[in-house]
Every structure is written in C-alpha cells, then in structure tokens.
Amino acid sequence: MDTLALTGGKALLPDGTVETADVLVDREGGTIAAVGGDIDGVNEATETIDTTGCVVIPGLVNAHTHVSMTLLRGYADDTPLETWLREEIWPVEAALTPDDIEIGAELGAVEMIRSGTTTFADMYFSEDRVASVVDRAGMRALLGHGAVTIGKDEAAARADIEESVTVAAELDGAADGRIRTAVMPHSLTTVGERYLREAVEGAADIDVPIHLHANETVDEVDPIVEERGIRPMEYAEGIGALAEGNFFAHGVHLDATEIDLLAESGTSIVHCPASNMKLASGMAPVQDLLDVGVTVALGTDGAASNNDLDLFDEMRDAAMVGKIAAGDAAAVPAESVLRMATAAGADALGLPGGRIAEGEAADLAVVDLDAPHLTPAHDVISHLVYAVRGSDVRDTICNGRVLMRDRELTTLDPDRVMERASAAAADLIARAEGDT
Ligand SMILES: N[C@@H](CCSC[C@H]1O[C@@H](n2cnc3c(=O)[nH]cnc32)[C@H](O)[C@@H]1O)C(=O)O
Ligand SMILES: [Zn+2]
C-alpha cells in the first residue's frame, strides 16, 4: 500500500479528545488507514511526516464563502449589507471576468491551504473556473452558481435559475469526485417565489442540495413577514426548501419556531460570525440551534466581509459572539466550535472529511504547537479555538495528498498567485470605476 504516516504527535479524535496518536494514510484510496499507537505499517510508510510537538486535526471546512471575492478584500468596508451589496459590491462584480474569478479563487485556495482548510462551499459565478482551481489545488469543494432574480425580467431571471441547475449538474463529481454541487438561489428576498420553487424542483431533479442566504439581517426578514405574515423559515418550508441535506448561510434572526423547523427538517445552518459582526447583521442564536440538534457549520463568507478566509479566526469569533448572544460564558464552548469547523461542516455539505478515524477521508492539517502564544499546553482543544492562528498550520493534506509540507505549498505557487491577483484586482477596480 502507498502510505503516508504522521508520527510522534497528537491527534484530535471524533469524540472531541486529543490523544497521542499516529495517523496512517492510504494515499491511493485517499483515506485514513489507521489511527493510534503501535499501528502496523507506520514504519514501512512510503512517506513520513514527523508530528512531534504538533496536533493533527481534520482539515477545516469553510462551509460558506464566495472565494473569488478575495479580489475585493478591503475594497469596501464599514457599510451595512444592503448598501454594501447594491452600491459597492454588485457594481464591481458586474465587471468581473471569468479570468478574475479564477485568479481570485487561486488566491483563496492558497490562503485556505495555508491555514489548514481543505474543503469549502462556494456560491458565485463562473464556477467552472473555480472548479478548475479546486482540481489543480487538490482541495475538496461544493460549488454552485448563485442566482439572483430581483430586478431582472422574466427571461433573465429564469435563465439565471436554469444556469444554477445546469452548473450543478455539470460540475457534480468533477476533480475525481472531490467536487460536489448545489443549486444556489442567492437568498429568500433576492430570488422571487416562483424562481425559488423552480430552484427547489431543479435541485430535486438532479439530486443535489439547495444552498442560500437566509435570515441574515432584519432588513431581509421584515419584508417577508410584512408581505406574507409568516417568518422566512415558514416561507422556505412552504416552498419545499427545508430538507435534509440543504444548508443555509447565516441564520442570524431566527425565532423559536424557525429553529424548530430547521431541526425537524434536518436543514443545516452555516454560521458566519465575522461577516455578521462586520456588516452589523446581528448575533446568530448558535447555542439554541445546537441545543435542538441543528447541524451548525462554520463559514467565513466572502473575504470582502471578513476580511480573511482563516477558519481559526472564525472559530474564535464563533466562540466569542456565541457567548455574548447567549449571555452565558459557558455557551458555544471550544469543543462545539471545533466540531462546527470539522465534522459538522462535512455533514452540512454532505462531503467526506471532518473526522480522524479509520476509513474516513484523509483530509488533515498539522498544527505546530511550539510557539509562545500556545505555551503552556494545558488544553489543546482550548488552544485550537482561542489561540492558534492559521499561520501555525505546518502541513495540509487533502484526500491523502500533501498540499502543504513544512509551510511550502506543493500544488500552487503563492508568489505568482499573489502577483497575478494584485494585478487583476487593480485592473478590475479601474474598469468598474471607469464604467460609473
Ligand atoms: N448571479 C448573481 C451572483 C450571485 S453570487 C453570490 C453573491 O452573494 C454576494 N454576497 C457576499 N456576501 C454576502 C452576504 O453576506 N449576504 C448576501 N450576499 C452576499 C456576493 O457579492 C455575490 O454577489 C448575480 O448575477 O449577481
Ligand atoms: Zn455569503
């Protein structure tokens, strides 16, 4: 067997404990062959990574982003969601080319691999270009074309929804099966009811989930309540959008009935704490969701509302804002947050990964604990959420393949990617501002 052995360090196990353990990876199958002490085959491994002084964790799952928005990082800050989207972001996005999307996705991939993220869910356009980056980068992803129908005539609206379904059908299974897809109507307010219904039907036809933005701001909830006399999740239920396998971003303004609807239907929520704070959207009731068994994953949202794609940052933010929201320092504890960024992320997306156990996908990150800000090591779980930074990740492995070894990327060239991204971003802004 062609194997990779991670030896001498600790590992974060699915029960939420950190134990001294080696991890043996079957590189051909892309899976974990064994975990523990004294594993057969470790000494004969084809390749070995010494993890002494490190903890091996599941590769992190960024369950909601718009990866190519890395090109807009820091371009439009300190503005509320509605104005931010309509006046700042959408005009620039109108000038984005497929080449921009590809280079933005490469930049995002470099950033994610360097900070231990192996898997992400992306809602954007020109997703075929994002798919080619995922393929080259060696990552795992769930991709979808974000469709908006508000402000469009019927033909254009229908075409955008149809594109979302077509893209999902075409890209599903790409990159040797590491890419899966979803139909992605942008949100319950930017897509009209009949088009939402078409998206739900289209997704069912090709057997992929639905992903959308839901209950992100009060301004998004109120119009639905005023117009229909029901809460957004009741509206979503009526449309048939609440179902096992579907996953919604944000879920900030949810009442108790809506939380129950999510739990009963098996619909997951992707919590995006940094974006929610930066756009002053509000505080998601994360502990309440966890209490009733809703699968809560973690996402960065786009780099323009975060402003990075580092899930360690996001974990810390989730723990912090979860406590404030609940008015209880015991709420959203470190072990819950770690689960959100790993196993729950994989579950929400319906993708492999998220657990270090025999037979699971070999999606892993090696975190170097030998640093002043991680000393003393009373509690590695606490450190992973409250003190580790993305830059503490030393090695990243996805599907059994090493994507970063000793902080050197093996599939992408960061210097070249950054240079091209800076040039593309400057060009994009010049074009967008020249047009207005
Ligand atoms: N086909 C659509 C694009 C939708 S992609 C997804 C969209 O979500 C936007 N977006 C990014 N962050 C957020 C957020 O927090 N809430 C809502 N939308 C967001 C992003 O800028 C992008 O326009 C069109 O033609 O405009
Ligand atoms: Zn978003």
Percentage of the chain surpassing pLDDT 90? Answer: 98
Which residue's entry shows tokens 């319950």?
188
pLDDT at 368 over 70: yes
* Residue among 89, 97, 215, 281 to mutate when testing ligand 1 (max atoms within 8 A of CB): 89
Read off the pLDDT of each residue in 228-253 and give the average, rounded to a whole number: 98
pLDDT at 436 over 60: no
The ligand 1 site (C-beta within 6 Å) comprises: 66, 85, 89, 93, 123-125, 146-148, 160, 186, 213, 216, 275, 301-302, 305
Q: What is the pLDDT of residue 298?
A: 98
Which residue's entry shows tokens 């490469």?
106
pLDDT in tens, 108-135: 999 999 999 999 999 999 999 999 999 9
Question: 3-state DSSP call for residue 382?
Answer: helix
Tally of CB atoms within 10 A around 8: 14
pLDDT at 85 over 80: yes
Which tokens belong to 374? 């991680």
pLDDT at 240 over 80: yes
Residue closest by Cα to atom 16 of ligand 1 = 213
Going from the Cα of 64 to the center of ligand 2, the distance in angstroms, rounded, reads 6
Residue closest by Cα to atom 19 of ligand 1 = 85
Q: What is the 8-class DSSP label of residue 94?
A: T
Q: What is the ipTM of this complex?
A: 0.93
pLDDT in tens, 319-363: 999 999 999 999 999 999 999 999 999 999 999 999 999 999 999
Q: Known binding site: residues?
A: 64, 66, 93, 186, 213, 216, 301
Of 175, 171, 139, the residue nearest 400 (C-alpha): 139
Which tokens belong to 401? 């393949």
Q: Which atom of ligand 1 is nearest to the CA of 93?
A: 23
Residue closest by Cα to atom 23 of ligand 1 = 90
Peptide bond into 376 cis (omega under 30): yes
pLDDT at 288 over 70: yes
Read off the pLDDT of each residue in 412-427 and give the average, rounded to a whole number: 98
Q: Known binding site for substrate: residues?
A: 93, 186, 216, 301
Peptide bond into 307 cis (omega under 30): yes
What structural domains does the chain harbor? 3-58+355-405 (2.30.40.10), 60-349 (3.20.20.140)
Going from the Cα of 147 to the center of ligand 2, the distance in angstroms, rounded, reads 12
Q: What is the pLDDT of residue 45?
A: 97
Percentage of the chain surpassing pLDDT 70? Answer: 100
Please report which confidence band the pLDDT of residue 434 belongs to, taking 50, 70 and 90 as the band edges: confident
Q: What is the pLDDT of residue 435?
A: 64
